[in-house]
Amino acid sequence: MSIRTITFDAIVVGGGGAGMRASLQMAQSGFKTALISKVFPTRSHTVSAQGGITCAIASADPNDDWRWHMYDTVKGSDYIGDQDAIEYMCNVGPEAVFELDHMGLPFSRTEEGRIYQRPFGGQSKNFGEGGQAARTCAAADRTGHALLHTLYQQNLKNGTQFYNEWYAAELVKDDEGNVCGVIAIDIESGETVFFKAKATVFATGGSGRIYASTTNALINTGDGVGMALRAGLPVQDIEMWQFHPTGIAGAGVLVTEGCRGEGGYLINKDGERFMERYAPNAKDLASRDVVARSMMMEILDGRGAGPDGDHVFLKLDHLGEEVLHSRLPGICELAITFAQTDPVKEPIPVVPTCHYMMGGIPTNVHGQAIKLSGGHEGEDQFVNGLFAVGEVACVSVHGANRLGGNSLLDLVVFGRAAGLFIEDQLRQGMTQYEPTDGNIDEAMARLNRWESSAGGESVPALRKELQSVMQNHFGVFRKGDLMAEGVAKLADLRKRIANAHLEDKSGPFNTARIEALELDNLLEVAEATAIAAEGRTESRGAHSRYDYPDRDDENWLCHSIFDPKAKKLGKRDVNFKPKTVDTFQPKARTY
Amino acid sequence: MKVSIYRYNPETDREPSMKEYEVDTQGKDLMVLDILALVKEQDQSLAYRRSCREGVCGSDGMNMNGKNGLACITPLSQVAPGVLEGKKPLILRPLPGLPVIRDLVVDMGMFYNQYEKVQPYLQNNTPAPAIERLQSPEERAKIDGLYECILCACCSTSCPSFWWNPDKFLGPAALLQSYRFLADSRDNATEERLSKLDDPFSLFRCHGIMNCVSVCPKGLNPTRAIGHIRSMLLERGI
């Protein structure tokens, strides 16, 4: 089958913070760079990030040190974050954040004219010894919006070629498995095109829509992970899903941790500030996994509020109208719209809600996608031509639990790093791998399957069922038998989705087609999550099991690697070798 | 309740038409976007844009019973009296004044073109310091109410001056962004920015109708920003 080919030096799939930081880097240096995004870039999910970007720029505290931030991140990851990557992120971070200011990001300010920083969960001074740190750089509570628009503006200025409302459907590989580009659909016309490039950068974001209740945008369907898994590539630590403590009960909409950073706290139905019992030092600013679990314990112990006792409250009224309206204006709007609650007067009903995928495509600090061959654990081999940055990647700086404010830093630092690395490779002469017609046909197979479907179950019904399986079997607390049941249900869903029906086959702006293709990706991410969660027989970070309640460093101080071909879970060494500081040794994690 | 939706598929329809749907809300005051999702379960051929579903991405601007807004943060009770109770249908149309691609999806090309014309990025030709460019809280406060724009196009597509001259009049959204950079103490391209606006159309076609202010889902005030630019242009002319 022959389809139109468009050729670039580099293509970036995804127009969120990571993708646009990567494309900006390459476009600035004059390389022919395309950014393919299924939505207009400023509609990407980065726009919803609220509280800030955590980075030791030493504004709030002139003595702040990136090594302290590194320590907090390693501890937050429950020791399976790679220390070389965390070192790189925390060390390079300040430069990357100052660049954002120079680009025009409208950060909030201190009296000295510097960037305003607020306290966030899990952030300490002096390697956990000096109390709470204020390290999270903020633009009110709209930091993601400010960041995303700034990056889009800079890409406009620097001539990135945008393919907005184009949907990347499949990786194209040659016979040796080298990546040649992607198949993408122009949503507006329905045309299918082969984008050929020396470097393909996945920046497709997260997959929170595998759960029924999530803070994630409707577009977060795990397209990059889905494409990688179908291409036979592994994913790492995919069982690690963050449940954000404060999603608005019922609506799932996020309420920033910055609320607690500014002095808000959680109360149960009796009005008790319960975090004092679970985390006597950090209290409401303990790490997210700790706070989410504590909230669920309160609810399960019968101290939840509401007619069904299914949520707790976030109390903010004591902060006063002025602070709320100047520091947390977006939250006030969201609470009124989605909880019919004015935080100036009453507390917001909140519940832990699926928020972030710590796992993803394993990469090194340059974004190079790692494939593993049998038996060589820890010895990295790369997928030629493929890179991943941002939430879709697992570099891994978040390990088993991400700290608040570290995702935006991850986006800009590693988007930039991948851009810098690819630029350098392009200058040295990077290979363009050429696919055969057969390779293209192979990549088109899934599209053709949907196009020729003549009957079967509908996409919305199957999606709903998948989301409820994930919600009920792979939530905050997990248990072996319940997960085994979930794995079986997903296997059944796989068969049914393979025979599902796309009724509307029209060309122009056919969102039913996109939703069908997204469903395939949701299934891939859900199944990988399920098998990895069942396989990791311990509790660590966000992965918490009733049947294995303790952390097991002897067997599981490692990454999990899900192999989609065998549907088996393997292990990969965690990096404990930072370049400029001593290793942070695993110890008991308390807040 | 009854929902009446503008339908048009260029591949099969000679002209647009309104299609009626029956949706069971179980009496709940759902958001308009939730209603669209329920309709799409019945009829998957319905096309509309959506992403964040919390009013920050700007995808789902549309016209609801005659007024532009974001479907995801507009509850039925706010659309028009009687809609929630089922006494009146919910009537959904694409944003007015832009070409329709399909159903509720409009071609935003003209809107984005005008945005790009104002050079919506910080310009500063002095060397950047090793840290951030300092900006006092008072200076920073001047871009509050400007930078929050989500480019949903509710304002520009409710503006008669934009309907009339969508190629020459920049429209409220683009002008709000123009002022966002004029007001930023870190930007020093003021003269260049102003000179580009100094013609009969780009800015001066604003007649202060203020539809933009009444529909902005983020509560922003483009008319005021346009007024500030007018003053800057006048001062510059003296």
* Final residue before a domain boundary, out of B103, B119, B144: B103
Q: Given a cut of 80, is residue A22 above it in pLDDT?
A: yes
Nearest CA among A248, A245, A289, A229 for reference residue A522: A229
Q: Which residue has the tokens 């490692």?
A: A558
Instruction: Please state the φ and ψ torsions of residue B215, each to the nearest 5 degrees.
Output: -100, -15
Q: What is the mean pLDDT of chain A?
A: 96
pLDDT at residue A372, as a whole number: 80
Chain B residues with CB under 8 Å of A150 CB are 122
Q: Tell me: do B36 and B12 sit in the same domain.
A: yes
Taking an 8 Å cut-off on Cβ atoms, the answer to whether B128 and A515 are in contact is no
> Between B57, B101, B133, which is nearest A102 by CB?
B133
Is the CB of residue A348 less than 8 Å away from at least one CB of chain B? no
Is A112 in Cβ contact with B51 (below 8 Å)?
no
Q: Which of B71, B103, B135 is the last residue of a domain?
A: B103
State both tokens at B139: 């200076």
CA dihedral (A270, A327, B215, B15) positive or negative: negative
Q: Which residues of A507-539 are buried (b: 16+ CB within 10 A; e: fewer)?
A: bbbbbbbbbbbbbbbbbbbbbbbbbbbbbbebb
Q: What is the pLDDT of residue A330?
A: 93
CA max distance for chain B: 63
pLDDT of residue B150: 98
What ranges make up the beta strands (E) of A2-116? Answer: 4-13, 33-37, 53-54
Confidence bin at A380 (pLDDT 50/70/90):
confident
- Chain A partners within 8 Å of B128 (Cβ): 98, 102
pLDDT of residue A571: 95
Long-range contacts of A2-6 (CB under 8 A, 24+ apart): A2/A437, A3/A183, A3/A192, A3/A193, A3/A194, A3/A440, A3/A444, A4/A191, A4/A193, A4/A194, A5/A193, A5/A194, A5/A195, A5/A196, A6/A34, A6/A193, A6/A194, A6/A195, A6/A196
Residue A111 sits at the chain B interface (C-beta within 8 Å): yes
Residues B96 and B188 in one domain: no
pLDDT digits (tens, 9 = 90+) for A325-376: 999 999 999 999 999 999 999 999 999 999 999 999 999 999 999 998 654 5
User: Do you know the residue count of chain A?
Assistant: 591
Average pLDDT over residues A373-400: 87
B contact test, residue of A20, A39, A42 with most B CBs within 10 A: A42
Distance CA A283, CA A275 (A): 5
User: What pLDDT shows up at residue A247?
Assistant: 96
B19 and B89, same domain (yes or no): yes
Q: Side chain identity at A214, as an amino acid letter? A: T
Q: How do residues A265-311 score in pLDDT, each as one tens digit?
A: 999 999 999 999 999 999 999 999 999 999 999 999 999 999 999 99
Q: Can you say whether residue A185 is alpha, beta or left, with left for phi > 0 and alpha for psi between -120 and 50 degrees? A: beta
Q: Is residue B137 located within the same domain as residue B95? A: no
- Contact between B181 and A104 using a beta-carbon 8 Å cutoff: yes
Claim to verify: residue B113 and residue B215 sit in the same structural domain: yes
Do B96 and B140 have their domain in common? Answer: no
Same domain for B198 and B85: no
A102 and B CB contact within 8 Å? yes
Q: Would you call B133 and A458 a contact, using CB atoms and an 8 Å cutoff? A: no
| B45 with A512: Cβ contact below 8 A | yes
**Predicted confidence (pLDDT) per residue in B97-140, tens digit:** 999 999 999 999 999 999 999 999 999 999 999 999 999 999 99
Location of structure tokens 């990706």:
A521
- Mind listing the pLDDT tens digit for each residue in B158-188? 999 999 999 999 999 999 999 999 999 999 9
Note the pLDDT tens digit of each residue in A417-453: 999 999 999 999 999 999 999 999 999 999 999 999 9
- For chain A, say whether B34 makes contact (Cβ under 8 Å): no
The pair of three-digit structure tokens given for residue A85, joined into one six-digit string: 């990557």
Residues B166 and B229 both lie in one domain: yes
Radius of gyration of chain B, Cα coordinates, nearest whole angstrom: 20
Q: What is the CATH number of the domain that holds B170?
A: 1.10.1060.10
The amino acid at A89: M
The residue from B69, B103, B137 where one domain ends is: B103
Nearest beta carbon to residue B44 from set A102, A106, A503:
A503
pLDDT at B238 over 90: no
CA distances, A442 to each of A169, A437, A533 (Å): 12, 9, 31
Q: Among B175, B171, B217, which Cα is nearest to B52's?
A: B217
A460 interface with B at CB cutoff 8 Å = yes
Task: Count the domains in chain B.
Answer: 2
Q: What is the DSSP letter of A254?
A: B
Burial group, residue B155, by CB count within 10 angstroms (0-12, 13-18, 19+): buried
CATH number of the domain where residue B76 is located? 3.10.20.30
Which residues in chain A are closer than 8 Å to B140, comparing Cβ atoms? 106-109
Same domain, B135 and B63: no
- B-chain residue closest to A38, CA distance: B51
With cut-offs at 50, 70 and 90, classify the pLDDT of residue A526.
Answer: very high
Inter-CA distances, B47 with A543, A578, B24, B51, Å: 38, 50, 20, 13
- State the catalytic residue, choosing from A209, A288, A540, A589: A288
* DSSP state letters, A445-479: HHHHHHHT--S--BHHHHHHHHHHHHHHHSSSEE-
- B137 interaction partners in chain A (CB closer than 8 Å): 108-111
Per-window interface: A 135-174 vs B, CB < 8 A: 139, 142, 145-146, 149-150, 153-154, 156-157
Contacts of residue B212, defined as CB under 8 A and 6 or more positions apart, other chains included, come to B155, B156, B158, B159, B172, B173, B222, B223
Element (H, E) at A291: helix A288-298
pLDDT at A437: 96
Token code pair at residue A115: 């960037």
| Cβ neighbours of B122 in A, within 8 Å | 102-104, 150, 153
- Name the residue range of residue B23's domain: 1-103
Place of tokens 């598929």: B9
Contact A509 B136 (CB under 8 A): no
Helices (runs of H) and strands (runs of E) counted in chain A: 16, 22
* Judgement on whether residues B47 and B16 belong to the same structural domain of the protein: yes
Going along A464-551, which residue ranges are E strands?
477-478, 544-545
Cβ–Cβ under 8 Å, residues A254 and A266: no
Cα–Cα dist A217/B60, whole Å: 13
B15 and B130 both lie in a single domain: no
Q: Which of B54, B58, B102 sits opposite A334 (nearest CB)?
A: B54
Rg of chain A over all Cα atoms, to the nearest angstrom? 23
Taking phi over 0 as left and psi of -120 to 50 as alpha, with beta for the rest, B86 belongs to: left
Query: Is the CB of A247 inside 8 Å of chain B's CB atoms?
Result: no
**With an 8 Å Cβ cutoff, is B150 touching chain A?**
yes
Tokens of A400: 């088993």
- Inspect the interface and report whether the beta carbons of A42 and B58 lie closer than 8 Å: yes
Report the pLDDT value the prediction gives residue A186, as an integer from 0 to 100: 98
Tokens (6 digits) for A543: 């992965």
Q: Is A389 on the interface with B (CB under 8 A)?
A: no
What's the pLDDT at A373?
Answer: 61
Using the predicted structure, report yes or no on whether residue A1 has a pLDDT greater than 80: no
Integer Cα distance of A242 and A292 in angstroms: 9
Q: What is the structure's pLDDT at A378?
A: 55
Q: What confidence score (pLDDT) does residue A505 get?
A: 96
Measured in degrees and rounded to the nearest 5, phi and psi for residue A151 equal: -65, -40
- pLDDT tens by residue, B196-237: 999 999 999 999 999 999 999 999 999 999 999 999 999 988
Which of A39, A40, A153 lies closest to B121 in CB terms?
A: A153
Please give the angle made by the CA atoms of A24, A29 and A33, to the nearest 5 degrees. 55
| A252: nearest Cα among A297, A219, A211, A220 | A211
Catalytic site includes residue A288: yes
A582 Cβ neighbours under 8 A, 6+ residues apart: none
Instruction: Provide the 8-state DSSP code for A302.
Output: I
Q: How many cross-chain Cβ pairs, A to B, lie less than 8 Å apart? A: 151
Same-domain status, B228 and B145: yes
Interface mutation vs chain B, best among A337, A348, A464, A514, most B CBs within 10 Å: A337
Instruction: Please tell me if residue A109 touches chain B, with a CB cutoff of 8 Å.
Output: yes
